Amino acid sequence: MIKRILLALLVLALLASYLVYKNLETLNAPPEFTVINSTKSFVSINAKWRDSQITIDNLIGTMVFTIEGEASMVFTIKYMSGKTDQRTLGYFTSGGKYQIQINENDVIVSGN
């Protein structure tokens, strides 16, 4: 009886250790950004944070990118019509997943 209890406790401890490890692995992952262009034409996006930036030209559909670091980010979206829109993502951190949804009339930035 005691052997079964000890075995159950050992299995439970191993499972708990694995779950803690996986959670820490997720928290230490670089922030992930998903840009979704829901318009029917190309858009260009420039994302700036600290002293860095990434430019995505002629995006149609969806693109995912990751970066190293933590900061806030400013997205500048240029539509084919010449219209420009700008959104700011507050402070992002490691392990976060963020979405930038580009629509005909607005841009929605969300995430955690």
Q: CATH for 31-111?
A: 2.60.40.2890
Report pLDDT for 22. Answer: 66
DSSP letter for 1, please. Answer: -
Query: What's the whole-model pTM score?
Result: 0.74
Q: Whose CA is closest to 100, among 44, 33, 52, 55?
A: 33
Domain ranges of the chain: 1-29, 31-111
Tell me the pLDDT tens digit for each residue of 78-99: 999 999 999 998 888 888 899 9
**Alpha-carbon distances, residue 60 vs 7, 46, 101 (angstroms):** 55, 15, 12
Tell me the pLDDT tens digit for each residue of 59-69: 999 999 998 88
Report pLDDT for 25. Answer: 59
Tell me the pLDDT tens digit for each residue of 30-62: 999 999 999 999 999 999 999 999 999 999 999
